[in-house]
């Protein structure tokens, strides 16, 4: 299973963290510090796997961002690389050629998408289209609620004029 | 934007944080925001609650504390609208984890939302449950998840399946509820549902063997069909990855098939064809295809033997290993490691390639390859492999040297065909990476050298040469100095020259020089210097002509701040100066070190004196006190029905025992009581070698004490206190008496009681011999004798007894746990009656044993104890 997902920028800034196994807050920052130290320092031609505390961390760099997933020893590393790529492709379609800034200002969206892809550290959906469809359906629900709210506040505003 | 709002927007906050140039500035921005959020929380501001939470999540991601926002998540989750719930659940998953108590409050909301009419809200709840549920929540919400596995929308079904996985991981017992719904999911067409369903079934199989059997019978064929369909399916844009339809589903299916095929020939047979197809037809030029091949090879290796398939799999690995992509090579090494147990010959064939991988520039690959090589070494290939590895040691990274050195030392030691080769290799390692060589490794080298008399000269000369080239390797210096001290004469006169050696000329003063350099070298530490001092002393006796010079070198350490060096320096000086006549006998060559003892000690067993003194029935590998404590605790646990097991005191008890013993006059029949410190250890060891009963007896008195203090009646506790002081030593005596073949004569001391038949059935008879110690009238010693009345052997024999509150019972282990046909075994126990004279002893007992592997249980109550016990 995937124990956690980590997005770190080349400068070591954390852009997304998702923990599927329990880690206390202190451990989390320690893990992040330790791993970004190891991963950011690896050369470009090396393999995408790092052995770490009896687990394996599969990482891949896309532009300035490192996507990392921590898995068990017996898991399929190559598949996890494929999952990372799957996630990136969905992000790319959603944001329209995604960049780091998209993920900073819309970090919650990145989380929503991840939640449609992974639950309990396991893959949930292999179709990019399905994920996109579910996300946009939920976004529409939010928009609809917003419009309703603003129309109400308009009515109130007009009434109190 | 609402004109009444006081806070900033989320994006404004992010911008402000990003604009801060220093960490202090960032902290200031965050502090201000947090203050605003707290204020808004206090005002219970509903409109901005979700924005506040979004901000908090960002702040949390930066690593600042955000615990004060946890309750806001719960409030948002409890609100009716979808947008609030969505952000609330996200916050819940981010800010909390399963160990926080707050989480318990959310169970009810989750339950409600899982029954919501809006399927997206159901989805949110399932997602949160799947990601953070604890064991309690799993128990509470498992029925809801089970129901949702049949929900009309497939997107909910797949989420429910993953939730079920989490639930099973938390509470494996719940797995049986999911067997049938899980099997139903395997027939689905929707890929998401299929992927999660297959995974759920794999997870269930891992916790329940019954379920495994069920799936194996009912689902294997269906799964094979599904895999065939998916492998043969035409291009489908929705699931296509690099020309392959849904590699994720491929992999999940192969995983489940692996579980089903393992250890079952029929199921394995059923999947052979499709595995062969996947292994041979899958494209290997893209990562997705390789991921499938990798999984397929694992499955082939795990299921029951099929020669053809195995060859196919090993070939794939061979191709992987020669791939230029590091990822592929890494997984190949990984897989070969697992294949080693299945087919080591096939792996050996790739040895050369694997050895190349050790020299790779990638640390991950190096590490894998080194581990694999380590497992591949045997007597036949150790020479070339060790040569290669040692050569690589010269150029390897500093980070990697530690690992590499340890592995080389280990294989050289384990597989060395002859001593001279071993010494040569170790010398190379020491001069190349001496700093990484562990203490026990260079100690072992010295032991080997002393044990090879014909190699003494060779070794010391080789070390002398090596020391000239690599004097900065601490461990090499130590070994060399030790050998020069011992064999200085062989160094100087080239004695015992081997044919392979080049002769060297070393004068006596050269030998002194090199030790002097070592002692004065700035990197030498105290151990090295101390060793050098001894070496010098030895040299001074071997070469009297250098005596004066040696004296002056040794004298330089008289003022050393390190006590050890100062002392050695002073003492050795006086040996050289004043005790010329005994010097040579003082510093004779070391007696040959015993290899067996050394290797035994390295393995962590007790010092040599122990194994020889009779059989040590405990067979403890590590540390006396620790080992004795463990069974003791067990026993106390076992014997105490209502006694608190004194875990912490059990460690001290051994020391107590020693303390007691040392204060005793040496009248006791223990060998070696003359030297007090030694005696302590000896007794301890002897005690251990007697076997378990000895410490147990003592342990039970210990238990007695504690349990008595627990008793509320002041009279009883007074009684024990007064009675303990005499008991402890006397039980010590018993204990020591226990050496001899004769058991302690308890009966002599107290009034005699008739033995009673406590229990008798057609198969078993139990007799009790009763006795009392005069000092402790409340305590009755019972020797139980169990007699087997049948011609069958009883194995796993266990006698258990329970007594009412006013009694304290301690059971010692039985003399054996198997009862031979018509034979008998004994077990002693001790009952203390706090109401002696008022109430008689009663006991309830249960006996369990096995006849031909079948469990038998007998129970009974014993109330025919004589009155007044």
pLDDT (tens digit per residue) in B448-458:
888 877 888 88
Decide if B431 contacts B408 (C-beta within 8 A): no
DSSP 3-state assignment of B239? coil
Q: List CB contacts (< 8 A) between A117 and chain B.
A: none
Mean pLDDT of B59-82: 85
Please state, in angstroms and rounded to a whole number, the distance separating the CA atoms of residues B493 and B495: 5
The reply to whether ipTM tops 0.90 is yes
Chain A segment 62-121 residues within 8 A of B by beta carbon are: 76-79, 81-83, 85-86, 104-105, 107-108, 111-112, 115, 119-120
Q: Is the pLDDT of residue B97 over 90?
A: no
pLDDT (tens digit per residue) in B193-243:
999 999 999 999 999 888 888 888 888 888 888 888 888 888 888 888 888
Beta-carbon separation of B239 and A76 below 8 A: no
Residue of A nearest to B10 (CA): A105
- Model pLDDT, residue B164: 92
Residue of B nearest to A24 (CA): B97
Query: How does DSSP assign B749-766, residue by residue?
Result: TS-----EEEEE-SSEEE
Which of the residue ranges B153-162, B388-397, B527-536, B748-757 would you say has the lowest mean pLDDT?
A: B748-757
Strand partners, A19: A4
Mean pLDDT of A105-114: 91
Q: List CB contacts (< 8 A) between A105 and chain B.
A: 11, 14
Please state, in angstroms and rounded to a whole number, the distance separating the CA atoms of residues B504 and B511: 12
pLDDT class for A2, splitting at 50, 70, 90? very high
How much of chain B, in percent, has pLDDT values that exceed 70? 81
| A44 part of contact set with chain B, CB < 8 Å | no
* Phi and psi at residue B467, to the nearest 5°: -65, -30
Burial A121-149 (b: 16+ CB within 10 A, else e): bbbbbbbbebbeebbeebeebeeeeeeee
Q: Is the pLDDT of residue B761 over 50?
A: yes
Question: pTM here?
Answer: 0.64
User: Closest approach of chain B CAs to the CA of A124, in angstroms?
Assistant: 6
Beta-carbon separation of A107 and B61 below 8 A: yes
Residue of A nearest to B163 (CA): A120
Out of A15, A46, A79, name the one closest to residue B251 (CB): A79
pLDDT (tens digit per residue) in B399-448:
778 888 888 888 887 787 788 888 888 888 888 887 788 878 888 888 88
> Where does residue B547 rank: exposed (0-12), middle (13-18), buried (19+ CB within 10 A)?
middle
pLDDT class for B603, splitting at 50, 70, 90? low
Give the number of beta-carbon pairs within 8 Å between A and B. Answer: 164
Count CB atoms within 10 A of the CB of residue B21.
7
Strand partners, B785: B767, B826
Q: List CB contacts (< 8 A) between B245 and chain A.
A: none
| A46 part of contact set with chain B, CB < 8 Å | yes
Q: List CB contacts (< 8 A) between A24 and chain B.
A: 97, 99
Mean pLDDT of B703-727: 42
User: Closest approach of chain A CAs to the CA of B553, in angstroms?
Assistant: 49
Q: List CB contacts (< 8 A) between B18 and chain A.
A: 104
Q: Quick one: which of A49, A79, A130, A146 has its CA closest to B159?
A: A130
Q: Cα B98–B101–B102 angle (5° rounding)?
A: 95
Q: List CB contacts (< 8 A) between A29 and chain B.
A: 63
B7-11, B85-89, B763-767, B863-867: which has the highest mean pLDDT?
B85-89
How much of chain B, in percent, has pLDDT values that exceed 90? 4
- Model pLDDT, residue A113: 93
- Model pLDDT, residue B685: 42
Beta-carbon separation of B65 and A25 below 8 A: yes
Beta-carbon separation of A77 and B331 below 8 A: yes
User: Closest approach of chain A CAs to the CA of B683, in angstroms?
Assistant: 43
What is the pLDDT of chain B when averaged over all its residues?
76
Beta-carbon separation of B98 and A134 below 8 A: no
Beta-carbon separation of B54 and A119 below 8 A: no
Half-sphere exposure of B331 toward its Cβ, with a 13 Å CA cutoff? 29
Beta-carbon separation of A127 and B191 below 8 A: yes
Please state, in angstroms and rounded to a whole number, the distance separating the CA atoms of residues B178 and B148: 12
Please give the residue that has the higher pLDDT: either B423 or B641. B423
pLDDT class for B604, splitting at 50, 70, 90? low
Q: List CB contacts (< 8 A) between B63 and chain A.
A: 14, 29
| A147 part of contact set with chain B, CB < 8 Å | no
User: Closest approach of chain A CAs to the CA of B203, in angstroms?
Assistant: 11
Half-sphere exposure of B501 toward its Cβ, with a 13 Å CA cutoff? 20
User: Closest approach of chain A CAs to the CA of B595, in angstroms?
Assistant: 35
- Model pLDDT, residue B152: 87
Q: Quick one: which of B362, B358, B363, B349 has its CA closest to B387?
A: B358
pLDDT (tens digit per residue) in B667-685:
444 443 344 444 444 444 4
């Amino acid at each position: 299973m995937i124990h956690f997902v980590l997005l770190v920028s080349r400068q070591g800034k954390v852009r997304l963290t998702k923990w599927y196994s329990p880690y206390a807050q202190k451990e989390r920052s320690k893990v992040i510090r330790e791993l970004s130290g190891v991963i950011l320092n690896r050369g470009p031609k090396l393999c995408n796997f790092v052995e770490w505390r009896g687990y394996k961390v599969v990482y891949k760099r896309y532009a300035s961002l490192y996507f990392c997933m921590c898995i068990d020893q017996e898991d399929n590393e190559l598949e996890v690389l494929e999952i990372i790529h799957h996630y990136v492709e969905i992000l790319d379609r959603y944001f329209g050629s995604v960049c780091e800034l998209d993920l900073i200002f819309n970090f919650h969206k990145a989380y929503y998408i991840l939640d449609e892809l992974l639950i309990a550290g396991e893959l949930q959906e292999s179709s990019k289209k399905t994920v996109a469809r579910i996300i946009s359906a939920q976004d529409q629900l939010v928009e609809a609620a917003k419009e309703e709210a603003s129309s109400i506040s308009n009515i109130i505003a007009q009434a109190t004029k | 934007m609402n004109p009444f709002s006081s806070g900033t927007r989320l994006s404004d906050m992010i911008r402000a944080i990003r604009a801060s140039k220093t960490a202090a500035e960032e902290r200031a921005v965050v502090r201000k925001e947090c203050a605003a959020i707290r204020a808004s929380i206090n005002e219970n501001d509903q409109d901005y609650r979700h924005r506040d939470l979004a901000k908090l999540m960002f702040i949390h991601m930066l690593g600042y504390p955000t615990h004060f926002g946890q309750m806001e998540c719960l409030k948002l989750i409890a609100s009716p609208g979808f947008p609030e719930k969505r952000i609330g659940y996200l916050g819940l998953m981010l800010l909390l984890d399963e160990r926080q108590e707050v989480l318990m409050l959310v169970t009810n909301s989750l339950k409600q939302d899982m029954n919501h009419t809006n399927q997206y809200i159901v989805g949110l709840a399932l997602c949160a449950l799947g990601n953070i549920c604890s064991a309690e929540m799993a128990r509470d919400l498992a029925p809801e998840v089970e129901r949702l596995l049949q929900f009309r929308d497939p997107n909910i079904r797949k989420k429910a399946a993953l939730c079920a996985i989490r639930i099973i991981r938390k509470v494996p017992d719940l797995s049986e509820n999911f067997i049938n719904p899980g099997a139903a999911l395997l027939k689905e067409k929707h890929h998401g549902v299929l992927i999660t369903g297959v995974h759920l079934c794999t997870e269930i199989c891992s916790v329940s063997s019954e379920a495994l059997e069920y799936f194996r019978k009912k689902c294997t064929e269906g799964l094979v069909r599904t895999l065939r369909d998916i492998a043969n399916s035409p291009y489908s844009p929705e699931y296509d990855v690099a020309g392959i339809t849904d590699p994720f589903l491929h992999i999940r299916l192969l995983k489940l098939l692996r579980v089903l095929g393992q250890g079952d020939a029929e199921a394995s047979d059923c999947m052979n064809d499709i595995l062969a197809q996947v292994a041979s037809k899958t494209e290997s030029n893209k990562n997705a295809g390789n991921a499938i091949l990798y999984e397929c090879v694992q499955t082939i290796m795990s299921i029951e033997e099929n020669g053809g398939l195995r060859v196919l799999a090993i070939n794939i690995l061979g191709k992987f290993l020669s791939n230029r992509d590091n990822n592929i090579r890494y997984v190949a090494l990984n897989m070969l490691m697992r294949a080693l147990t299945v087919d080591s010959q096939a792996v050996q064939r790739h040895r050369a390639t694997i050895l190349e991988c050790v020299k790779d520039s990638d640390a991950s690959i190096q590490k894998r390859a080194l581990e694999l090589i380590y497992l591949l070494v045997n007597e036949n290939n150790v020479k070339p492999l060790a040569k290669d590895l040692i050569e690589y040691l010269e150029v390897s990274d500093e980070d990697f040297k530690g690992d590499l050195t340890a592995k080389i030392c280990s294989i050289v030691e384990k597989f060395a065909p002859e001593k001279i080769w071993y010494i040569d290799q170790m010398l190379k390692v020491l001069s190349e990476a001496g700093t990484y060589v562990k203490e026990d490794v260079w100690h072992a080298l010295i032991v080997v050298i002393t044990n090879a008399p014909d190699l003494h000269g060779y070794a010391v000369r080789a070390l002398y040469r090596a020391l000239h080239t690599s004097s900065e390797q601490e461990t090499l210096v130590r070994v060399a100095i030790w050998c020069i001290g011992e064999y200085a004469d062989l160094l100087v006169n080239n004695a015992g020259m081997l044919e392979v050696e080049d002769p060297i000329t070393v004068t006596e003063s050269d030998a002194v020089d090199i030790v002097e350099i070592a002692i004065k070298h700035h990197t030498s530490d105290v151990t090295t210097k101390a060793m050098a001092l001894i070496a010098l002393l030895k040299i001074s006796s071997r070469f009297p002509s250098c005596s004066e010079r040696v004296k002056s070198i040794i004298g330089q350490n008289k003022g050393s701040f390190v006590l050890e060096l100062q002392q050695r320096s002073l003492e050795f000086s006086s040996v050289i100066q004043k005790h010329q006549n005994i010097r040579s006998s003082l510093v004779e060559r070391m007696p040959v070190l015993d290899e067996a003892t050394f290797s035994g000690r390295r393995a962590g067993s007790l010092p040599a004196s122990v194994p020889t003194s009779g059989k040590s029935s405990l067979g403890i590998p590590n540390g006396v006190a620790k080992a004795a404590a463990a069974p003791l605790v067990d026993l106390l646990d076992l014997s105490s029905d209502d006694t608190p097991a004194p875990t912490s005191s059990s460690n001290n008890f051994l020391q107590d025992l020693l303390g007691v013993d040392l204060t005793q006059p040496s009248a006791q029949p223990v060998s070696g009581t003359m030297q007090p410190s030694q005696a302590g250890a000896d007794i301890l060891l002897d005690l251990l070698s007697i076997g378990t009963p000895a410490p147990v007896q003592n342990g039970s008195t210990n238990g007695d004490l504690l349990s008595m203090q627990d008793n509320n009646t002041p009279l009883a506790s007074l009684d024990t206190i007064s009675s303990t002081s005499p008991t402890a030593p006397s039980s010590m005596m018993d204990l020591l008496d226990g050496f001899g073949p004769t058991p302690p004569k308890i009966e002599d001391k107290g009034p005699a009681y008739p033995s009673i038949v406590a229990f008798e059935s057609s198969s078993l008879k139990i007799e009790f011999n009763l006795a009392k110690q005069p000092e402790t009238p409340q305590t009755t010693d019972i020797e139980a004798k169990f007699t087997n009345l049948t011609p069958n052997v009883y194995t796993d024999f266990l006698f258990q007894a329970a007594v009412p509150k006013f009694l304290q019972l301690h059971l010692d282990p039985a003399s054996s746990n198997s009862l031979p046909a018509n034979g008998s075994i004994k077990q002693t126990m001790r009952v203390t009656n706090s109401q002696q004279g008022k109430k008689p002893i009663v006991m309830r007992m249960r006996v369990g044993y096995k006849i031909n592997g079948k469990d038998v249980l007998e129970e009974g109550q014993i109330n025919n104890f004589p009155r007044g016990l």
